[in-house]
Amino acid sequence: MATAPPTPPDTDTAAFVAALRRLKAWSGLSYRQLERRATEAGHTLPYSTAATMLGRERLPREQLVVAFVVACGVRDDEAEAWVDARTTIACRHVAAPPAPNTGSKQSWRSRWAFVGAAALVTALLGGAVASGAFTDDQEVHETRTSLRL
């Protein structure tokens, strides 16, 4: 590890996971070695979880990022930079509203399907109410319950 570790990008999930892959390559460690080093540092990082994390394009949980970065040999401010980048990406993802999909046939179909389903439910409930399905015409004269042990 003569060179500096890769720096974490805070742009998007795909770039972040790609940088985690570069960090693993930089460390020169196998997944089993990463698991052992994480355990020695007081973290939990099963080798299969680390492999799955690097094989997907999803933002890993913060605890996994911490365990992985520490296991790769990154410490202090550099490790904190990885967590900060992950937090920035996660917050940006949550805060950004989905882009409007105007003109798409699929979005119009789903809107009309929703409207149709709402109309159907309204009609069914209206019919049930009109027929008296939700009223109780019988009186309860006496209720006895016994508890036998």
* Buried-state track 20-56, b at ≥16 Cβ within 10 A, e below 16: beebbebbebebeebbebbeeeebebbeebbeebbee
Q: In which band, very low, low, confident or very high, does the pLDDT at 111 lie, cut at 50, 70 and 90? A: confident
- The pTM for the full model equals 0.62
Structural contact between residues 72 and 5, judged by C-beta atoms closer than 8 angstroms: yes
Strand, helix or coil for residue 15: helix
pLDDT for the residue 149: 55
Mean local confidence (pLDDT), 19-39: 96
Give me the percent of the chain exceeding a pLDDT of 70.
74
Of 96, 97, 83, nearest to 10 by C-alpha is: 83
Average pLDDT over the chain, rounded to whole?
A: 84
d(CA 131, CA 71): 67
